[in-house]
Chains A and B, each alone.
Chain A
Amino acid sequence: MNEVLTDWRALVGRHLLHLRRMPDKLISATVLPMVFVVLFGVLFGSAISIPNGDYHEFIMAGIFTQVMITAVPNTAIGMLEDLGNGLVDRFRSLPMSPSAVLVGRTVGDTALRAITCLAMTAVGYAIGWRLQGGILGALAGFGVLLLFGFTMAWLGALLGMRVRSPEAASSLPSVLLMPLMFLSSAYVPLGGLPAWLRAIAEWNPISAVAGACRALWGNPAAAGDSFAARNPIPLALLWLALILLLVVPSAVRRYRTAVAA
């Protein structure tokens, strides 16, 4: 166990060094998300009204979850690069833990996403968004969000080992996740949907994560009185645990036999 921790620490260290080395990566991970906050918060916020509160209060949690999803291709491409330039071969020829390379990458990418969250929060505050759930609620909300980001990073790492080209690594996550994203309460409350569609959207893990953040941050909820809509926090945690339980072992298994395209 001690050796596994040494491996994890070494690989996480590698990715934290990367963050420091690549200011361009930091910029691309913060600028666009900040633009989204302004775009959705100010522009759409002034045009859209929702039943129980301000749209720009409501949409922040949605933008945060969206940004966690749009970062999936980055993880996938990074993994694909490590495979392509022989680094994974080298790591696999070492007597090290097979999970370490993946842990390093996913933790490193989650750290980057934490920086993204800070930048977005700053811009959010500038346009009038407020965290109204107290300091603990605020931290817990970001905790759920980053757990979601971590889960998505594992998914990205798995995809990166399954696809053969950077094009596929950058487009496949969107193809898989964007429909889920739109069929959720991330952008809009679900009150207007037909009942069957609404049930699907309410149980959607992305709705659960956005809903958990809203609940913890004291922001307006997506309304609805179903079990899923009333219990977003446990539902989100359950979903994330379930997805991690599926994705982590299959990613590690994939890594053991991974080959470059």
Chain B
Amino acid sequence: MDYAIQAEGLRKRYGDTEAVAGVDLAVPTGTITGVLGPNGAGKTTTVRMLATLLRPDGGRAEICGFDVVRQAREVRHRIGLTGQYAAVDQKLTGRENLQLIGVLQRLGRRNAKQRAAELLERFDLTEAADRLSGTYSGGMRRRLDLAASLIADPAVLFLDEPTTGLDPVSRLDLWAMIRAEVDRGLTVLLTTQYLEEADQLADRIAVVDKGVVIAGGTPEELKRQVGEERLDVTLAHVTDGLAVANALSRVSSSEPTVSPDGRTVSLTLAGGVLGISTAVSALHDAGVEIVDLAVRRPTLDDVFIALTGNRQVEPTLEKSPA
């Protein structure tokens, strides 16, 4: 197979902490690989090394066959980078931003102008093209940022948490646009904290933690390990906990768990969402009074519990995309 991105034993140390402790990656040309992990797992550091912004302390990496350290210039001709912040000049218009990057990508003034117009159209920014990008919404700024990464038709695109801070609608828009680019043959390395984002976009997922890849595979393989949708049942009476767990054990594909306060029973839905009705009638037959039912998709936290048995992720207030 032909790999657009290849890394072997990539390392980076900051003082006493090994931010990246030997990462191996191989991304086939024309596919998306999602690097999934919590904050501080080394995702951004890995991307920065692959995008020639940071010199690795050890290991090696090649983009389209060019070494990221020794042939940085060749690599830079072939990559686009969309970082965690929308890296656009807010005091320039959308069009000026794209033209500037185009000229710096050696497209030549006229070509840069033409490419800018094309990309503004493709990313639905034509109307706002001549407004200062500082007046754009978060979603528009991200789209402009993505357009800037694509202006010189790179072979490889790095997306470092591209939808952080976006509202759900803008997030879906951006996902669709990224997918369309991959259909054109682009190779993408995406980092994300959201299992759903990796699931939606990636052909393969690499789960990273503490600077190493701890699991890899297709989204299906990973989800099989993590489990499907979970059902949380909130009870009216705390005393019902065990009875409920017993009643539900036959509709659950794993042992139901009871929360420490005894009010919530959580189970993996056998047969997906259809299992809900089976679960509800089982509860009804057992005479259990329930207050609430919630279907929960697996999160990064669940991935870590499944893979390592540990809760690796700090509980956050941030909502996962849905």
List of B residues within 8 angstroms of A134 by Cβ: none
Decide: B132 and A94 in contact? CB cutoff 8 A: no
A85-B87, A95-B77 are known contacts. Are A90 and B148 too (CB-CB below 8 A)? yes
List of A residues within 8 angstroms of B81 by Cβ: 89-90, 93
A3-B106, A86-B84, A90-B83 are known contacts. Are A17 and B92 too (CB-CB below 8 A)? yes
Given A86-B86, A93-B52, A95-B76, list of 11 further CB < 8 A pairs?
A3-B106, A18-B92, A22-B91, A85-B87, A89-B53, A92-B53, A93-B76, A93-B81, A95-B77, A96-B105, A257-B55
User: In the complex, how many angstroms separate the beta carbon of B100 from the nearest chain A beta carbon?
Assistant: 6
Shortest 9 CB-CB distances between A and B: which pairs?
A: A86-B87, A86-B85, A95-B76, A90-B87, A93-B81, A86-B83, A96-B104, A10-B103, A21-B91
Bound-complex Cα distance A13 to B99 (A): 11
Bound-complex Cα distance A86 to B164 (A): 14
Provide a sorted-by-A list of 28 A–B residue pairs whose CB atoms are within 8 angstroms: A10-B100, A10-B103, A14-B100, A17-B92, A17-B96, A18-B92, A21-B91, A21-B92, A22-B91, A84-B85, A85-B85, A86-B84, A86-B85, A86-B86, A87-B87, A87-B88, A89-B48, A89-B81, A89-B87, A91-B104, A92-B53, A93-B51, A94-B76, A94-B105, A95-B105, A96-B104, A259-B53, A259-B54
Bound-complex Cα distance A13 to B100 (A): 9
Decide: B83 and A21 in contact? CB cutoff 8 A: no
Which A residues form the contact surface with B (CB < 8 A)?
3, 6-7, 10, 13-14, 17-18, 21-22, 84-87, 89-96, 100, 257, 259
Interface centre among B54, B86, B90, B100 (most CB of A within 10 A): B100
List of A residues within 8 angstroms of B55 by Cβ: 257
Bound-complex Cα distance A100 to B76 (A): 16
Query: Who on chain B is nearest to A91 by CB?
Result: B104
Query: Who on chain B is nearest to A87 by CB?
Result: B87
User: In the complex, how many angstroms separate the beta carbon of B211 from the nearest chain A beta carbon?
Assistant: 18
Which B residues form the contact surface with A (CB < 8 A)?
48, 51-55, 73, 76-77, 79-81, 83-92, 96, 100-101, 103-106, 132, 148-149
Bound-complex Cα distance A221 to B143 (A): 59
List of B residues within 8 angstroms of A91 by Cβ: 104
Name the prevailing secondary structure of the A interface residues: helix
Decide: B91 and A10 in contact? CB cutoff 8 A: no
User: In the complex, how many angstroms separate the beta carbon of A18 from the nearest chain B beta carbon?
Assistant: 5
Query: Who on chain A is nearest to B96 by CB?
Result: A17
User: In the complex, how many angstroms separate the beta carbon of B141 from the nearest chain A beta carbon?
Assistant: 10
List of A residues within 8 angstroms of B92 by Cβ: 14, 17-18, 21
Decide: A10 and B104 in contact? CB cutoff 8 A: yes
User: In the complex, how many angstroms separate the beta carbon of A92 from the nearest chain B beta carbon?
Assistant: 5
Decide: B87 and A95 in contact? CB cutoff 8 A: no
User: In the complex, how many angstroms separate the beta carbon of B14 from the nearest chain A beta carbon?
Assistant: 10
User: In the complex, how many angstroms separate the beta carbon of A15 from the nearest chain B beta carbon?
Assistant: 9
Bound-complex Cα distance A161 to B78 (A): 27
User: In the complex, how many angstroms separate the beta carbon of A78 from the nearest chain B beta carbon?
Assistant: 10
Bound-complex Cα distance A96 to B51 (A): 14
List of A residues within 8 angstroms of B91 by Cβ: 17-18, 21-22
User: In the complex, how many angstroms separate the beta carbon of B204 from the nearest chain A beta carbon?
Assistant: 24
B101 touches which one: A84, A85, A90 (CB < 8 A)? A90
User: In the complex, how many angstroms separate the beta carbon of A124 from the nearest chain B beta carbon?
Assistant: 31
Bound-complex Cα distance A248 to B137 (A): 37
Bound-complex Cα distance A90 to B106 (A): 15
Decide: A21 and B100 in contact? CB cutoff 8 A: no
User: In the complex, how many angstroms separate the beta carbon of B99 from the nearest chain A beta carbon?
Assistant: 9
Query: Who on chain B is nearest to A84 by CB?
Result: B85
